[in-house]
Amino acid sequence: MKKNTIFYLILLIFLLSMVSSGCLEPAKGKPIHVTAIIEVLVLDENGKPIVGEKVHFMSVKYMGISPYGDSKTELDDWTDSNGKVEFTVGYDLIKDESRGYAVPESIGTVASIDGATDSVGFNYQEAESQAGGTGMAVVSKKIVLVKPGYKMSNYNNPNYDTSPEAEAHNTDSYYADSYYVLNP
């Protein structure tokens, strides 16, 4: 055999071994399978749970800020006797570092009824923390949708006093069409 042929044969064997060992793949974090559970509570204008309300749900996987491929999921379901409905979706998330900087994937979810819409998100870092090295995470979040016109206190303000005495004299309220609770 010629020297060049031997050289190229050795180089080919070396490259094939590098590819099979994963050394030539883009630098990506370990994938984490995320089971995302979204509980939606629907309330009427008086703050009472609504039974049988149709809830539209949508989820999309993102790479950075861009939707990722054909990852969109849309579902419809109806609230139970407690005004709740639960949606579960699953995605594999990675943290792509092949560009020289980390671009983590995330999941965006939206729930809506007639007149109210809100959303919660799930990200790679959250999933990685929850997975604890197992490669699998189950993350739950809640969304509360309120029919338009329901007068509610501004609970999103961390300095807001929610004691019954303060509520009786409080004028700091607003009319919300929706809000969400991340940690009930």
The pLDDT, as a whole number, for residue 159 is: 57
Q: Which residues of the chain have pLDDT under 50?
A: 18-28, 150-156, 169-184
**Cα–Cα distance between 92 and 47 in angstroms, integer?**
37
- Of 151, 153, 157, 155, give the one whose Cα is nearest residue 177: 151
**Cα–Cα distance between 145 and 167 in angstroms, integer?**
22
Residue 94 half-sphere exposure toward CB, CA atoms < 13 A: 10
The pLDDT, as a whole number, for residue 87 is: 95
CATH node for 31-179: 2.60.40
The pLDDT, as a whole number, for residue 83 is: 95
Burial label for 109, CB within 10 Å (0-12, 13-18, 19+), is buried
What is the DSSP secondary-structure string of 89-130? EEEEE-EE-TTSS-EEEEEEEEEEETTEEEEEEEEHHHHHHH
The pLDDT, as a whole number, for residue 19 is: 44
The pLDDT, as a whole number, for residue 166 is: 57
The pLDDT, as a whole number, for residue 164 is: 58
Going from the C-alpha of 119 to that of each of 1, 38, 86, 157, 180, the distances in angstroms are 66, 10, 14, 19, 7
**Cα–Cα distance between 172 and 24 in angstroms, integer?**
59
Query: What are 71-89's pLDDT values in tens digits?
Result: 889 999 999 999 999 999 9
The pLDDT, as a whole number, for residue 10 is: 64
